[in-house]
Structure 1
Protein backbone atom coordinates (compact mmCIF):
# COMPACT_ATOMS: atom_id res chain seq x y z
CA UNK A 1 0.00 0.00 0.00
CA UNK A 2 1.44 3.42 -0.93
CA UNK A 3 1.90 5.59 2.14
CA UNK A 4 2.14 8.83 0.15
CA UNK A 5 2.27 10.25 -3.35
CA UNK A 6 5.37 12.26 -2.44
CA UNK A 7 8.57 10.72 -3.87
CA UNK A 8 11.54 9.57 -1.83
CA UNK A 9 14.41 11.90 -2.77
CA UNK A 10 17.73 12.27 -0.99
CA UNK A 11 18.08 15.93 -0.02
CA UNK A 12 21.35 15.84 1.88
CA UNK A 13 23.74 13.65 3.84
CA UNK A 14 24.87 14.75 7.30
CA UNK A 15 28.42 14.15 8.50
CA UNK A 16 28.50 14.69 12.24
CA UNK A 17 31.69 16.31 13.54
CA UNK A 18 30.73 17.10 17.16
CA UNK A 19 32.82 20.11 18.33
CA UNK A 20 35.48 19.65 15.63
CA UNK A 21 33.90 21.65 12.81
CA UNK A 22 37.02 23.71 12.14
CA UNK A 23 39.24 20.66 11.59
CA UNK A 24 36.55 18.78 9.64
CA UNK A 25 36.04 21.76 7.34
CA UNK A 26 39.78 21.97 6.74
CA UNK A 27 39.82 18.28 5.76
CA UNK A 28 36.92 18.65 3.35
CA UNK A 29 38.42 21.71 1.70
CA UNK A 30 41.60 19.66 1.15
CA UNK A 31 39.39 16.93 -0.34
CA UNK A 32 38.40 19.48 -2.97
CA UNK A 33 35.01 20.65 -1.70
CA UNK A 34 34.05 24.32 -1.83
CA UNK A 35 32.25 24.86 1.48
CA UNK A 36 29.70 27.53 2.31
CA UNK A 37 30.48 30.01 5.08
CA UNK A 38 29.67 28.75 8.56
CA UNK A 39 25.97 28.62 9.29
CA UNK A 40 24.39 29.11 12.71
CA UNK A 41 21.08 27.31 13.25
CA UNK A 42 18.46 28.67 15.60
CA UNK A 43 18.56 25.19 17.20
CA UNK A 44 22.15 25.76 18.35
CA UNK A 45 24.08 23.68 15.82
CA UNK A 46 26.58 25.02 13.29
CA UNK A 47 27.43 23.78 9.80
CA UNK A 48 29.19 24.05 6.48
CA UNK A 49 27.65 22.74 3.25
CA UNK A 50 29.08 21.31 0.05
CA UNK A 51 26.22 22.06 -2.34
CA UNK A 52 25.75 20.00 -5.51
CA UNK A 53 23.26 20.03 -8.38
CA UNK A 54 20.40 18.17 -6.69
CA UNK A 55 21.55 17.45 -3.15
CA UNK A 56 24.29 18.41 -0.74
CA UNK A 57 26.65 17.28 1.99
CA UNK A 58 26.46 18.88 5.43
CA UNK A 59 29.19 19.02 8.05
CA UNK A 60 27.23 19.46 11.27
CA UNK A 61 28.63 20.28 14.68
CA UNK A 62 28.51 22.58 17.69
CA UNK A 63 30.68 25.39 18.99
CA UNK A 64 33.21 24.07 21.48
CA UNK A 65 31.67 26.34 24.11
CA UNK A 66 28.16 25.07 23.34
CA UNK A 67 25.71 24.08 26.03
CA UNK A 68 25.02 21.03 23.85
CA UNK A 69 21.41 22.06 23.44
CA UNK A 70 20.82 19.27 20.91
CA UNK A 71 22.00 16.35 22.99
CA UNK A 72 20.47 13.90 20.49
CA UNK A 73 23.13 14.77 17.91
CA UNK A 74 25.94 14.54 20.43
CA UNK A 75 24.96 10.93 21.11
CA UNK A 76 25.66 9.87 17.50
CA UNK A 77 29.14 8.78 16.36
CA UNK A 78 31.24 11.08 14.22
CA UNK A 79 30.91 10.39 10.52
CA UNK A 80 27.93 9.86 8.28
CA UNK A 81 25.07 9.81 10.77
CA UNK A 82 22.13 11.54 9.10
CA UNK A 83 20.15 11.17 5.88
CA UNK A 84 17.65 13.86 4.97
CA UNK A 85 14.94 13.20 2.41
CA UNK A 86 13.22 16.07 0.63
CA UNK A 87 9.58 16.93 1.04
CA UNK A 88 7.53 19.72 -0.49
CA UNK A 89 5.10 19.66 2.45
CA UNK A 90 6.44 18.31 5.74
CA UNK A 91 3.18 18.71 7.64
CA UNK A 92 1.16 16.83 5.02
CA UNK A 93 3.74 14.06 4.68
CA UNK A 94 4.06 13.66 8.42
CA UNK A 95 0.30 13.21 8.64
CA UNK A 96 0.28 10.64 5.85
CA UNK A 97 3.04 8.64 7.46
CA UNK A 98 1.25 8.67 10.80
CA UNK A 99 -1.84 7.21 9.08
CA UNK A 100 0.38 4.58 7.46
CA UNK A 101 1.66 3.53 10.88
CA UNK A 102 5.18 4.88 10.46
CA UNK A 103 7.02 6.03 13.63
CA UNK A 104 7.53 9.76 13.08
CA UNK A 105 8.04 12.80 15.28
CA UNK A 106 6.16 16.08 15.12
CA UNK A 107 7.57 18.56 12.63
CA UNK A 108 9.46 21.64 13.73
CA UNK A 109 10.71 24.84 12.12
CA UNK A 110 14.16 26.39 12.32
CA UNK A 111 16.41 28.66 10.28
CA UNK A 112 19.90 30.05 9.83
CA UNK A 113 21.01 33.39 8.38
CA UNK A 114 22.68 33.47 4.95
CA UNK A 115 24.68 36.48 3.81
CA UNK A 116 23.48 37.65 0.41
CA UNK A 117 25.53 40.60 -0.84
CA UNK A 118 26.02 41.80 2.71
CA UNK A 119 22.39 41.37 3.70
CA UNK A 120 21.48 38.53 6.12
CA UNK A 121 18.49 36.52 4.94
CA UNK A 122 16.93 33.58 6.81
CA UNK A 123 17.18 30.16 5.17
CA UNK A 124 14.28 28.33 6.81
CA UNK A 125 13.37 24.66 7.10
CA UNK A 126 10.67 22.36 8.44
CA UNK A 127 11.77 18.85 9.42
CA UNK A 128 10.60 15.72 11.17
CA UNK A 129 12.29 12.44 12.00
CA UNK A 130 11.28 8.89 11.09
CA UNK A 131 12.26 5.76 13.01
CA UNK A 132 14.02 7.56 15.83
CA UNK A 133 13.57 4.66 18.24
CA UNK A 134 14.76 1.96 15.83
CA UNK A 135 17.51 3.58 13.76
CA UNK A 136 20.96 3.24 15.34
CA UNK A 137 23.92 5.60 15.19
CA UNK A 138 22.08 8.50 13.62
CA UNK A 139 18.79 9.46 12.07
CA UNK A 140 16.57 9.55 9.03
CA UNK A 141 14.50 12.69 8.60
CA UNK A 142 12.50 14.69 6.08
CA UNK A 143 13.35 18.28 5.20
CA UNK A 144 11.17 20.95 3.64
CA UNK A 145 13.10 23.89 2.18
CA UNK A 146 11.09 27.09 2.48
CA UNK A 147 13.90 29.10 0.86
CA UNK A 148 15.77 26.74 -1.52
CA UNK A 149 17.24 29.70 -3.37
CA UNK A 150 19.34 30.42 -0.25
CA UNK A 151 20.80 26.90 -0.25
CA UNK A 152 21.32 26.07 -3.93
CA UNK A 153 23.35 29.13 -4.91
CA UNK A 154 25.53 28.90 -8.04
CA UNK A 155 28.37 30.62 -6.19
CA UNK A 156 28.64 27.58 -3.89
CA UNK A 157 28.44 24.79 -6.47
CA UNK A 158 31.82 24.86 -8.22
CA UNK A 159 34.00 22.25 -6.49
CA UNK A 160 37.68 21.75 -7.37
CA UNK A 161 37.15 17.96 -7.15
CA UNK A 162 34.33 18.21 -9.71
CA UNK A 163 31.64 16.57 -7.59
CA UNK A 164 28.19 16.99 -9.14
CA UNK A 165 25.94 15.00 -6.79
CA UNK A 166 25.74 12.37 -4.10
CA UNK A 167 25.01 9.21 -6.09
CA UNK A 168 25.18 6.46 -3.45
CA UNK A 169 24.74 5.93 0.27
CA UNK A 170 26.04 2.72 1.86
CA UNK A 171 24.61 1.41 5.13
CA UNK A 172 25.83 -1.69 6.95
CA UNK A 173 22.84 -3.33 8.62
CA UNK A 174 22.19 -6.27 10.90
CA UNK A 175 18.43 -5.91 10.41
CA UNK A 176 17.72 -4.61 6.90
CA UNK A 177 13.96 -4.96 7.42
CA UNK A 178 14.09 -2.04 9.84
CA UNK A 179 15.21 0.36 7.11
CA UNK A 180 13.09 -1.14 4.33
CA UNK A 181 10.05 -1.04 6.59
CA UNK A 182 10.53 2.65 7.28
CA UNK A 183 11.08 3.64 3.64
CA UNK A 184 8.57 1.32 2.00
CA UNK A 185 5.43 2.97 0.65
CA UNK A 186 7.00 5.78 -1.38
CA UNK A 187 6.38 5.76 -5.16
CA UNK A 188 9.17 4.23 -7.27
CA UNK A 189 11.20 3.47 -4.13
CA UNK A 190 10.41 -0.19 -3.53
CA UNK A 191 13.42 -2.02 -2.07
CA UNK A 192 15.19 -4.26 -4.60
CA UNK A 193 17.17 -7.27 -3.45
CA UNK A 194 20.48 -7.71 -5.26
CA UNK A 195 23.13 -10.40 -4.89
CA UNK A 196 24.96 -8.75 -2.01
CA UNK A 197 22.70 -5.88 -0.96
CA UNK A 198 19.29 -4.25 -0.98
CA UNK A 199 18.93 -1.02 -2.94
CA UNK A 200 16.37 1.77 -2.64
CA UNK A 201 16.13 4.59 -5.16
CA UNK A 202 15.97 8.06 -3.64
CA UNK A 203 15.90 10.53 -6.53
CA UNK A 204 19.28 10.62 -8.26
CA UNK A 205 20.84 8.65 -5.39
CA UNK A 206 20.67 4.98 -4.46
CA UNK A 207 20.72 3.72 -0.89
CA UNK A 208 22.57 0.42 -0.55
CA UNK A 209 21.94 -1.76 2.50
CA UNK A 210 24.72 -4.31 3.03
CA UNK A 211 25.34 -7.08 5.53
CA UNK A 212 28.51 -6.87 7.59
CA UNK A 213 30.10 -9.64 5.53
CA UNK A 214 29.01 -7.99 2.28
CA UNK A 215 30.40 -4.63 3.35
CA UNK A 216 33.68 -6.19 4.44
CA UNK A 217 34.02 -8.02 1.12
CA UNK A 218 33.33 -4.85 -0.85
CA UNK A 219 35.11 -2.15 1.15
CA UNK A 220 37.50 -4.00 3.46
CA UNK A 221 38.93 -1.77 6.16
CA UNK A 222 38.12 1.44 4.25
CA UNK A 223 34.84 1.89 6.15
CA UNK A 224 34.23 2.32 9.90
CA UNK A 225 34.63 -0.97 11.72
CA UNK A 226 32.31 -2.23 14.46
CA UNK A 227 29.20 -0.60 15.81
CA UNK A 228 26.43 -1.01 18.35
CA UNK A 229 22.80 -1.41 17.34
CA UNK A 230 21.25 -2.36 14.02
CA UNK A 231 23.17 -0.32 11.46
CA UNK A 232 25.85 2.21 10.67
CA UNK A 233 26.07 4.55 7.67
CA UNK A 234 29.58 4.06 6.32
CA UNK A 235 30.20 5.45 2.82
CA UNK A 236 29.05 7.89 0.15
CA UNK A 237 29.31 7.63 -3.63
CA UNK A 238 30.00 10.97 -5.31
CA UNK A 239 29.44 11.53 -9.03
CA UNK A 240 32.20 13.67 -10.51
CA UNK A 241 32.54 15.59 -13.75
CA UNK A 242 36.00 14.12 -14.38
CA UNK A 243 37.79 11.37 -12.50
CA UNK A 244 41.14 12.82 -13.56
CA UNK A 245 40.22 16.21 -12.13
CA UNK A 246 39.05 14.55 -8.91
CA UNK A 247 42.33 12.64 -8.65
CA UNK A 248 44.33 15.83 -9.16
CA UNK A 249 42.37 17.66 -6.46
CA UNK A 250 42.79 14.80 -3.99
CA UNK A 251 46.52 14.50 -4.56
CA UNK A 252 46.88 18.27 -4.26
CA UNK A 253 45.11 18.01 -0.90
CA UNK A 254 47.57 15.40 0.30
CA UNK A 255 45.38 12.30 -0.12
CA UNK A 256 46.28 8.96 -1.68
CA UNK A 257 43.00 7.57 -3.02
CA UNK A 258 42.78 3.90 -3.92
CA UNK A 259 41.29 2.55 -7.16
CA UNK A 260 37.81 1.22 -6.41
CA UNK A 261 35.19 -0.11 -8.81
CA UNK A 262 36.16 2.18 -11.66
CA UNK A 263 36.61 5.17 -9.39
CA UNK A 264 38.69 6.37 -6.46
CA UNK A 265 38.16 5.67 -2.76
CA UNK A 266 39.23 7.80 0.19
CA UNK A 267 39.08 5.76 3.39
CA UNK A 268 36.85 6.76 6.28
CA UNK A 269 39.79 7.35 8.59
CA UNK A 270 40.96 10.18 6.34
CA UNK A 271 37.53 11.77 5.75
CA UNK A 272 36.04 12.21 9.21
CA UNK A 273 34.51 8.77 9.60
CA UNK A 274 32.94 8.16 6.18
CA UNK A 275 34.50 6.52 3.12
CA UNK A 276 34.16 8.60 -0.06
CA UNK A 277 33.91 6.90 -3.46
CA UNK A 278 34.52 9.34 -6.32
CA UNK A 279 33.00 7.98 -9.55
CA UNK A 280 32.05 9.22 -12.99
Structure 2
Protein backbone atom coordinates (compact mmCIF):
# COMPACT_ATOMS: atom_id res chain seq x y z
CA UNK A 1 0.00 0.00 0.00
CA UNK A 2 1.42 3.44 -0.90
CA UNK A 3 2.71 5.61 1.92
CA UNK A 4 0.89 8.59 0.40
CA UNK A 5 -1.72 9.42 -2.20
CA UNK A 6 0.27 12.45 -3.33
CA UNK A 7 1.86 11.87 -6.75
CA UNK A 8 5.58 11.95 -7.45
CA UNK A 9 6.09 14.94 -9.77
CA UNK A 10 9.35 16.67 -10.63
CA UNK A 11 8.97 20.37 -9.85
CA UNK A 12 12.42 21.65 -10.74
CA UNK A 13 16.04 20.68 -11.27
CA UNK A 14 18.78 22.50 -9.38
CA UNK A 15 22.10 23.27 -11.04
CA UNK A 16 24.57 24.21 -8.34
CA UNK A 17 26.96 26.99 -9.30
CA UNK A 18 28.74 27.64 -5.97
CA UNK A 19 29.88 31.30 -5.89
CA UNK A 20 29.87 31.66 -9.69
CA UNK A 21 26.26 32.68 -10.33
CA UNK A 22 27.19 35.60 -12.59
CA UNK A 23 29.25 33.35 -14.87
CA UNK A 24 26.65 30.57 -14.85
CA UNK A 25 23.85 32.98 -15.71
CA UNK A 26 25.86 34.41 -18.61
CA UNK A 27 26.53 30.89 -19.85
CA UNK A 28 22.88 29.82 -19.69
CA UNK A 29 21.80 32.93 -21.55
CA UNK A 30 24.24 31.91 -24.30
CA UNK A 31 22.55 28.50 -24.26
CA UNK A 32 19.31 30.26 -25.16
CA UNK A 33 17.54 30.43 -21.80
CA UNK A 34 15.64 33.52 -20.66
CA UNK A 35 16.47 33.82 -16.95
CA UNK A 36 14.51 35.54 -14.22
CA UNK A 37 16.13 38.42 -12.33
CA UNK A 38 18.38 37.35 -9.48
CA UNK A 39 16.49 36.05 -6.48
CA UNK A 40 17.63 36.40 -2.88
CA UNK A 41 16.35 33.71 -0.52
CA UNK A 42 15.80 34.40 3.14
CA UNK A 43 18.03 31.35 3.74
CA UNK A 44 21.01 33.18 2.23
CA UNK A 45 21.19 31.52 -1.20
CA UNK A 46 20.76 33.32 -4.53
CA UNK A 47 19.34 32.10 -7.84
CA UNK A 48 18.12 32.59 -11.37
CA UNK A 49 15.34 30.48 -12.90
CA UNK A 50 14.58 29.26 -16.41
CA UNK A 51 10.83 28.76 -16.10
CA UNK A 52 9.02 26.35 -18.40
CA UNK A 53 5.39 25.28 -18.74
CA UNK A 54 5.24 22.64 -15.99
CA UNK A 55 8.67 22.77 -14.32
CA UNK A 56 11.85 24.81 -14.28
CA UNK A 57 15.63 24.93 -14.01
CA UNK A 58 17.23 26.71 -11.08
CA UNK A 59 20.77 28.07 -11.09
CA UNK A 60 21.51 28.12 -7.37
CA UNK A 61 24.50 29.50 -5.54
CA UNK A 62 25.64 31.80 -2.79
CA UNK A 63 27.17 35.28 -2.79
CA UNK A 64 30.92 35.37 -3.39
CA UNK A 65 31.27 37.90 -0.59
CA UNK A 66 30.44 37.25 3.07
CA UNK A 67 29.74 34.05 4.97
CA UNK A 68 28.55 30.90 3.25
CA UNK A 69 25.11 30.78 4.83
CA UNK A 70 24.11 27.39 3.38
CA UNK A 71 26.78 24.77 3.89
CA UNK A 72 24.86 22.23 1.77
CA UNK A 73 25.33 24.35 -1.35
CA UNK A 74 29.10 24.39 -1.19
CA UNK A 75 29.52 20.78 -0.08
CA UNK A 76 28.05 19.47 -3.37
CA UNK A 77 29.89 19.50 -6.70
CA UNK A 78 28.89 22.12 -9.23
CA UNK A 79 26.40 20.83 -11.78
CA UNK A 80 23.05 19.10 -11.52
CA UNK A 81 22.95 18.39 -7.80
CA UNK A 82 19.34 18.79 -6.72
CA UNK A 83 15.97 17.36 -7.72
CA UNK A 84 12.88 19.01 -6.24
CA UNK A 85 9.62 17.10 -6.26
CA UNK A 86 6.32 18.96 -6.00
CA UNK A 87 3.95 18.68 -3.09
CA UNK A 88 0.74 20.54 -2.34
CA UNK A 89 1.09 19.82 1.39
CA UNK A 90 4.66 19.45 2.62
CA UNK A 91 3.76 19.00 6.28
CA UNK A 92 1.37 16.12 5.60
CA UNK A 93 3.70 14.43 3.11
CA UNK A 94 6.66 14.74 5.46
CA UNK A 95 4.62 13.04 8.18
CA UNK A 96 3.46 10.26 5.86
CA UNK A 97 6.97 9.52 4.62
CA UNK A 98 8.39 9.62 8.14
CA UNK A 99 5.71 7.16 9.28
CA UNK A 100 6.76 4.88 6.40
CA UNK A 101 10.33 4.88 7.71
CA UNK A 102 11.82 7.27 5.15
CA UNK A 103 14.76 9.43 6.25
CA UNK A 104 13.25 12.91 6.01
CA UNK A 105 14.16 16.24 7.57
CA UNK A 106 11.75 18.63 9.24
CA UNK A 107 10.06 20.99 6.83
CA UNK A 108 11.12 24.64 6.71
CA UNK A 109 9.64 27.82 5.29
CA UNK A 110 11.50 30.47 3.32
CA UNK A 111 10.85 33.08 0.66
CA UNK A 112 12.40 35.46 -1.83
CA UNK A 113 11.07 38.80 -3.10
CA UNK A 114 9.75 39.06 -6.66
CA UNK A 115 9.23 42.37 -8.43
CA UNK A 116 5.76 42.52 -9.98
CA UNK A 117 5.20 45.80 -11.81
CA UNK A 118 7.37 47.66 -9.35
CA UNK A 119 5.85 46.03 -6.26
CA UNK A 120 7.88 43.59 -4.16
CA UNK A 121 5.93 40.41 -3.38
CA UNK A 122 7.23 37.38 -1.45
CA UNK A 123 7.40 34.08 -3.33
CA UNK A 124 7.21 31.60 -0.47
CA UNK A 125 8.02 27.90 -0.17
CA UNK A 126 7.93 25.02 2.28
CA UNK A 127 10.49 22.26 1.72
CA UNK A 128 11.95 19.16 3.30
CA UNK A 129 14.71 16.79 2.25
CA UNK A 130 14.59 13.03 1.77
CA UNK A 131 17.58 10.74 1.73
CA UNK A 132 20.09 12.96 3.46
CA UNK A 133 23.27 10.91 3.85
CA UNK A 134 21.97 8.21 1.48
CA UNK A 135 22.21 10.48 -1.59
CA UNK A 136 25.67 11.33 -2.94
CA UNK A 137 26.68 14.55 -4.67
CA UNK A 138 23.48 16.42 -4.00
CA UNK A 139 19.97 16.08 -2.65
CA UNK A 140 16.38 15.10 -3.26
CA UNK A 141 13.74 17.29 -1.67
CA UNK A 142 10.05 18.18 -1.80
CA UNK A 143 8.85 21.71 -2.48
CA UNK A 144 5.48 23.27 -1.73
CA UNK A 145 4.78 26.48 -3.65
CA UNK A 146 2.62 28.78 -1.58
CA UNK A 147 2.66 31.40 -4.34
CA UNK A 148 3.03 29.55 -7.67
CA UNK A 149 1.75 32.58 -9.55
CA UNK A 150 4.99 34.36 -8.62
CA UNK A 151 7.11 31.58 -10.17
CA UNK A 152 5.21 30.55 -13.30
CA UNK A 153 4.84 33.94 -14.98
CA UNK A 154 4.30 34.19 -18.71
CA UNK A 155 6.85 37.01 -18.95
CA UNK A 156 9.57 34.48 -18.01
CA UNK A 157 8.53 31.49 -20.13
CA UNK A 158 9.56 32.44 -23.66
CA UNK A 159 13.05 31.02 -24.30
CA UNK A 160 15.05 31.67 -27.48
CA UNK A 161 16.01 27.97 -27.54
CA UNK A 162 12.26 27.14 -27.43
CA UNK A 163 12.51 24.82 -24.40
CA UNK A 164 9.06 24.12 -22.98
CA UNK A 165 9.80 21.55 -20.25
CA UNK A 166 12.31 19.27 -18.61
CA UNK A 167 11.50 15.80 -19.94
CA UNK A 168 14.29 13.56 -18.58
CA UNK A 169 16.81 13.36 -15.75
CA UNK A 170 19.77 10.98 -16.05
CA UNK A 171 21.53 9.69 -12.96
CA UNK A 172 24.59 7.44 -13.07
CA UNK A 173 24.08 5.10 -10.13
CA UNK A 174 26.26 2.42 -8.58
CA UNK A 175 23.46 1.46 -6.16
CA UNK A 176 20.10 2.23 -7.82
CA UNK A 177 18.22 0.51 -5.00
CA UNK A 178 19.23 3.42 -2.77
CA UNK A 179 17.10 5.74 -4.91
CA UNK A 180 14.28 3.31 -5.64
CA UNK A 181 13.84 2.63 -1.90
CA UNK A 182 13.63 6.34 -1.18
CA UNK A 183 11.06 6.98 -3.89
CA UNK A 184 8.82 3.96 -3.42
CA UNK A 185 5.58 4.42 -1.49
CA UNK A 186 4.09 6.80 -4.05
CA UNK A 187 1.13 5.85 -6.29
CA UNK A 188 1.71 3.05 -8.81
CA UNK A 189 2.30 5.40 -11.75
CA UNK A 190 5.71 6.18 -10.25
CA UNK A 191 6.78 2.58 -9.58
CA UNK A 192 10.33 1.89 -10.84
CA UNK A 193 10.48 0.06 -14.19
CA UNK A 194 13.46 -2.07 -15.20
CA UNK A 195 14.61 -1.87 -18.81
CA UNK A 196 17.58 -2.87 -20.93
CA UNK A 197 19.38 0.40 -20.18
CA UNK A 198 18.59 0.64 -16.47
CA UNK A 199 15.70 1.68 -14.25
CA UNK A 200 13.18 4.41 -14.98
CA UNK A 201 10.91 6.25 -12.56
CA UNK A 202 8.08 8.43 -13.82
CA UNK A 203 7.77 11.73 -11.96
CA UNK A 204 4.85 13.46 -13.68
CA UNK A 205 5.88 14.34 -17.22
CA UNK A 206 9.56 13.73 -16.38
CA UNK A 207 11.29 10.36 -16.63
CA UNK A 208 14.15 9.76 -14.20
CA UNK A 209 16.68 7.31 -15.64
CA UNK A 210 19.04 5.38 -13.37
CA UNK A 211 21.96 4.15 -15.46
CA UNK A 212 25.02 2.08 -14.68
CA UNK A 213 28.37 3.65 -15.43
CA UNK A 214 28.80 1.37 -18.44
CA UNK A 215 25.35 2.16 -19.83
CA UNK A 216 25.88 5.89 -19.36
CA UNK A 217 29.26 5.73 -21.08
CA UNK A 218 27.79 3.77 -23.99
CA UNK A 219 24.99 6.27 -24.44
CA UNK A 220 26.61 9.62 -23.68
CA UNK A 221 30.34 9.00 -24.01
CA UNK A 222 32.46 11.87 -22.72
CA UNK A 223 29.55 14.34 -22.81
CA UNK A 224 28.64 13.74 -19.17
CA UNK A 225 30.72 14.37 -16.03
CA UNK A 226 33.39 11.71 -15.64
CA UNK A 227 34.15 10.06 -12.31
CA UNK A 228 32.57 10.70 -8.94
CA UNK A 229 32.66 9.68 -5.30
CA UNK A 230 29.72 7.93 -3.67
CA UNK A 231 26.76 6.02 -5.08
CA UNK A 232 25.49 8.33 -7.79
CA UNK A 233 25.91 11.51 -9.80
CA UNK A 234 23.20 13.42 -11.68
CA UNK A 235 24.71 13.93 -15.11
CA UNK A 236 22.23 15.02 -17.80
CA UNK A 237 18.87 16.60 -18.52
CA UNK A 238 16.49 16.03 -21.42
CA UNK A 239 14.78 19.25 -22.53
CA UNK A 240 11.71 19.26 -24.76
CA UNK A 241 11.72 22.04 -27.34
CA UNK A 242 9.06 23.43 -29.65
CA UNK A 243 11.56 23.58 -32.51
CA UNK A 244 14.91 21.88 -32.84
CA UNK A 245 15.86 24.49 -35.45
CA UNK A 246 15.14 27.27 -32.96
CA UNK A 247 17.30 25.50 -30.42
CA UNK A 248 20.13 25.10 -32.93
CA UNK A 249 19.88 28.76 -33.96
CA UNK A 250 19.94 29.96 -30.34
CA UNK A 251 22.95 27.79 -29.53
CA UNK A 252 24.80 29.00 -32.61
CA UNK A 253 24.05 32.60 -31.68
CA UNK A 254 25.55 31.94 -28.27
CA UNK A 255 28.67 30.41 -29.78
CA UNK A 256 27.80 26.90 -28.56
CA UNK A 257 28.46 23.89 -30.78
CA UNK A 258 26.20 20.94 -29.87
CA UNK A 259 26.61 17.44 -31.25
CA UNK A 260 23.83 15.42 -32.94
CA UNK A 261 22.34 12.98 -30.44
CA UNK A 262 19.35 10.64 -30.77
CA UNK A 263 17.32 12.87 -33.10
CA UNK A 264 18.24 15.91 -31.04
CA UNK A 265 21.20 18.04 -29.99
CA UNK A 266 23.54 17.44 -27.06
CA UNK A 267 25.56 20.08 -25.26
CA UNK A 268 28.44 18.59 -23.29
CA UNK A 269 28.56 19.04 -19.53
CA UNK A 270 31.77 21.05 -19.82
CA UNK A 271 29.85 23.67 -21.80
CA UNK A 272 26.81 23.79 -19.48
CA UNK A 273 28.17 24.13 -15.95
CA UNK A 274 28.60 20.44 -15.23
CA UNK A 275 25.46 18.89 -16.71
CA UNK A 276 24.89 17.60 -20.25
CA UNK A 277 21.80 19.08 -21.95
CA UNK A 278 19.86 17.09 -24.54
CA UNK A 279 17.53 19.27 -26.63
CA UNK A 280 14.81 17.24 -28.35
CA UNK A 281 11.41 17.73 -29.95
How many residues are matched? 280
1:156 is matched with which residue? 156
Distance between the aligned counterparts of 1:261 and 1:72, measured in 2?
A: 35
1:185 Cα offset (Å): 1.3
1:76 Cα offset (Å): 0.0
**What per-residue deviation string (whole Å, max 9, x for no partner) do you get for residues 61-118 of structure 1?**
0110030011111100000000000000000000000111110000000000000000
1:89 is matched with which residue? 89
Distance between the aligned counterparts of 2:66 and 2:272, measured in 1?
A: 24
1:34 is matched with which residue? 34
2:194 is matched with which residue? 193
Normalising by the residue count of structure 2, what TM-score does the alignment of the two structures yield?
Answer: 0.99
1:145 is matched with which residue? 145
* Alignment check: 8 A CA contact 2:167 2:207 kept: yes
2:235 is matched with which residue? 234
* Alignment check: 8 A CA contact 2:19 2:61 kept: yes
1:173 is matched with which residue? 173
Distance between the aligned counterparts of 2:111 and 2:228, measured in 1?
A: 32
**What per-residue deviation string (whole Å, max 9, x for no partner) do you get for residues 135-171 of structure 1?**
0000000000000000000000000000000000000
Distance between the aligned counterparts of 1:262 and 1:191, measured in 2?
A: 26
Tell me, yes or no, if structure 1 residue 58 matches structure 2 residue 58: yes
Q: Structure 2: any 5+ residue segments left out of the alignment? A: none
Distance between the aligned counterparts of 1:146 and 1:206, measured in 2?
A: 25
2:206 is matched with which residue? 205
1:128 is matched with which residue? 128
1:133 Cα offset (Å): 1.2
Partner-residue secondary structure (3-state), 2:133: coil
Partner-residue secondary structure (3-state), 1:24: helix
* Alignment check: 8 A CA contact 2:236 2:277 kept: yes
* Alignment check: 8 A CA contact 2:62 2:73 kept: no
Distance between the aligned counterparts of 1:48 and 1:72, measured in 2?
A: 18
Q: Structure 1: any 5+ residue segments left out of the alignment? A: none
1:197 Cα offset (Å): 1.2
